[in-house]
Chains A and B, each alone.
Chain A
């Protein structure tokens, strides 16, 4: 195939991806997020399957038999554990606004800069080779398909396709991941594109598999029978010398860990996660994906070996070479695009994840710790952060390219990949210990990581430098001739493959180091705070603003200035305003309360990493030392009552305002010399009842942090309902006062009464359904317009209808609404078949708070003001309300509104 066609196809494909990403981001802005669903989430996890899967599995199957499967068995076996581990990591990251695995470890162990830098370094060292083999895969597939020799090893890089591929990847990676700075560090466009790529590579691989299995052979049986005849293949698929269960075991363990801790997996599974619930589906969908993409590996490996075994073709290329050899250009192109998507998705996500790590955990902490940083970079910080990311993306991809040109030629796809896996597996003790063991501390994490990394380097990296940089005797006789230090046979063990033994030793010393350090070294207060926040995250957090750790005094304006530098003035002002309006402080002060400081710290952490954010906030805070007990106490109170239930918070602010209005109204009422003592004392009593419930329940919640969820919900629910009742009551008192004092003017306009009736019925549909009441509406007159206040009349009808519903028996209630006219008035009558009203009370029920003196049923739930207000409204319109009823025979309320 002509290379121009290939280049055009590759570029078109990347542009298509970009369009998808762009479209997805657009949808996000219009609140129709595509990413917020478990299928896209599961597909994005399949970024796990790189070119290594796409091309390398087949190669690995030819050279190592079934062992290629360990890389997929591991994640499949581990997936059910995600509910325990991944969900917790996701929650912690959401609460603490953690954006990478380096950030996670740094935050867990006391927001420590050194650890963040080390983890970033290890990721970079471990992952660059892995990226470079993706570039290699693209370059190789390009040359296989175009028929041009893979010319990487000779000549200038200017003549090398891989160099141009790298440049294109740099451009697209920046477009996808480093265009703007987001406080949450989420990239919905990218995730959608990655999910799409996962589909493409799956379809392409399965298509080639089907072609080979059924097009070139007569189905799987045929292939397997022919393969049996080839001794080299038979040996790979027979257990015997050279295959130990130990190797399998360690490879499976390794991939279990890699699927959690590889930077790109952490990015898609944790940082880009939009809802913990998506895990439920991903737990089975992701293994299913792995299963499907592996079905045709063996047929392809065998088929390739049988048909192409005699040709000088690397088994890693069978997926592409088979369609090419048999003249299926279209299929070959599809396979190429499949491999291309496997490689590009890995490269793009991995590089973005690394660039975030570098900017948030290496560069920013370093810069912000310098006292004059703000003077120098103050106004351009967000562009500055973005530029650092772009720079690191360029740097890493160029590094990967150089590695590809110089080193990677000698290795297969899979071996380099596995060494990268082993690097990220070093995070295991610090991560798992970090979320399940409060005593795990910084000293332990450091010791474990250093020891594990050293062992990783010694057993897995040193041997790759033989025979280039180091003498072969290192492997055969050991350093300085000391046999039990041979890197691939450490301490004389010979049972395991080099890779498995490297994993074994590095994880062993890593875990022991972690345990030893944690047990023997002390933990600082901040570390312990973080440990508690991480380990007890599900107990302590039900929302994302419930961790409180600042006690120092921070001036609000300083905080705002800090946010402005990173997010712009408008945004910073809005954040602060929104916060203060929601959590209105009892007394205004220039100092920010601890929750606001923490909230801002987290916003900053999203953009520049936890360690940097901490340093920045510390620079403007006069922090007092804070004890763990205090942290827990603040946490509990803030979260139990205040943050957990925003609804509640909103209500209490509302109530405060209303109480204020009420007391003003109160004064006016007294001045107006209405009758008043009694009215007021009744109001006071009516208001006190819900306040008593709210206060008592809230205090109990406050004092009972370990209350079970059911009671908590019941209490919070009651508080909300009682607050609503209070709100209604106060509103009605205020209405009444406004009417009586003449301060409220009707807004007269031409209205259709029947429309208002219909709207009133719509409003209370819920009540009607709950009690299963049948309601009929009948109009005896054609639509007639009157001048009236639409909203107030609606209030009257809603009130009368609610009363009718209230006094009907459930399931037997019937309500009839009739509109008619009598020459001068339009008439709306509402008839129910409820308990009815003794004629002796027909006038009294229109009195304020009348229900208080008339308790025949359960305590009424209304305010006792509804009818008084309704009558007042009708009278203000020049109309009236009357009732006709007998006890036990239902009631009819008739509203008359004059036709001008």
Chain B
């Protein structure tokens, strides 16, 4: 079971991601903006973060950099889910420290399998 923090300013996308992750058996925390997400990150020390890029108060890139700066979150994986899909946007996402950049709209099955692959214990 993983601890997952999901941040998106679209409540309906939160609804689907939350359901999907709970169905996979994870502990799930959701945030409507970057600031809320930051509090959750501090409190819950997540293993996995699913982040929108454009959010009020603190955007996805800033959040991701924040996670990378926390020594006790070395193991955490960050996935961006964004409607911006241009080459430059993807590039910027990886530069901010993401493990994966998945454009919206995404396939839920694909998302789950890529998460499983990403979280597979090494070796």
Q: Tell me the A residues contacting B by CB distance below 8 Å.
A: 681, 684-685, 688-697, 699-700, 703-704, 711, 714-715, 718, 722, 855, 859
Chain B residues with CB under 8 A of A692: 10, 13, 83, 104-106
Q: Tell me the B residues contacting A by CB distance below 8 Å.
A: 9-10, 12-13, 15-17, 19-20, 23, 56, 83-84, 86, 104-109
Partner pick for A700 among B20, B84, B104, CB 8 A cutoff: B20
Q: Which residue of A lies closest to B56 (CB)?
A: A855
Cα A859 to Cα B23 in complex, Å, equals: 27
Q: Which residue of B lies closest to A721 (CB)?
A: B12
21 A-B residue pairings within 8 Å (CB atoms): A685-B83, A688-B104, A688-B105, A689-B10, A689-B13, A689-B104, A692-B104, A692-B106, A693-B13, A693-B15, A693-B16, A696-B17, A696-B20, A699-B109, A700-B19, A703-B108, A711-B19, A718-B15, A855-B56, A859-B9, A859-B56
Q: Which residue of B lies closest to A688 (CB)?
A: B83
Chain B residues with CB under 8 A of A711: 19
A689 touches B107 (CB 8 A): no
Residue among B105, B107, B109 with the highest chain A CB neighbour number at 10 A: B105
A722 touches B12 (CB 8 A): yes
B15 touches A695 (CB 8 A): no
A699 touches B104 (CB 8 A): no
* Nearest CB in chain B: distance from A682 CB, A: 11
A697 touches B16 (CB 8 A): yes
* Nearest CB in chain A: distance from B114 CB, A: 14
Chain B residues with CB under 8 A of A694: 105
Cα A859 to Cα B55 in complex, Å, equals: 9
A699 touches B12 (CB 8 A): no
Cα A697 to Cα B23 in complex, Å, equals: 13
Chain B residues with CB under 8 A of A690: 12
A696 touches B10 (CB 8 A): no
B104 touches A704 (CB 8 A): no
Q: Which residue of A lies closest to B110 (CB)?
A: A699
A693 touches B19 (CB 8 A): no
Q: Which residue of B lies closest to A694 (CB)?
A: B105
Chain B residues with CB under 8 A of A855: 56
Chain A residues with CB under 8 A of B84: 685
B83 touches A689 (CB 8 A): yes
Known: A685-B84, A711-B19, A718-B15. A699 touches B10 (CB 8 A): no
Q: Which residue of A lies closest to B9 (CB)?
A: A859
**New contact pairs (15) apart from A684-B83, A692-B106, CB-CB < 8 Å:** A685-B83, A688-B104, A689-B104, A691-B105, A692-B10, A692-B83, A695-B105, A696-B17, A696-B108, A697-B16, A700-B16, A700-B108, A703-B108, A715-B19, A859-B56
Chain B residues with CB under 8 A of A714: 15
A696 touches B23 (CB 8 A): no
A718 touches B12 (CB 8 A): yes
A699 touches B107 (CB 8 A): yes
B108 touches A699 (CB 8 A): yes
Chain B residues with CB under 8 A of A700: 16, 19-20, 23, 108
Cα A745 to Cα B115 in complex, Å, equals: 52
A703 touches B109 (CB 8 A): yes
Q: Which residue of B lies closest to A684 (CB)?
A: B83
B109 touches A696 (CB 8 A): no
* Nearest CB in chain A: distance from B106 CB, A: 7
Q: Which residue of A lies closest to B20 (CB)?
A: A700
Cα A124 to Cα B105 in complex, Å, equals: 62
Chain A residues with CB under 8 A of B10: 689, 692-693, 859
Chain B residues with CB under 8 A of A704: 23
* Nearest CB in chain B: distance from A451 CB, A: 50
Cα A693 to Cα B11 in complex, Å, equals: 9
Chain B residues with CB under 8 A of A703: 108-109
* Nearest CB in chain B: distance from A241 CB, A: 69
Chain A residues with CB under 8 A of B108: 695-696, 699-700, 703
Chain A residues with CB under 8 A of B9: 859
* Nearest CB in chain B: distance from A273 CB, A: 37
Chain B residues with CB under 8 A of A715: 15-16, 19
Chain B residues with CB under 8 A of A689: 10, 13, 83, 104
Cα A688 to Cα B12 in complex, Å, equals: 13
Chain A residues with CB under 8 A of B109: 699, 703
3 nearest CB pairs, A to B: A696-B16, A693-B12, A688-B83
* Nearest CB in chain B: distance from A466 CB, A: 70
Cα A685 to Cα B86 in complex, Å, equals: 11
Cα A657 to Cα B108 in complex, Å, equals: 25
Chain B residues with CB under 8 A of A718: 12, 15
Chain A residues with CB under 8 A of B20: 696, 700
* Nearest CB in chain A: distance from B13 CB, A: 5
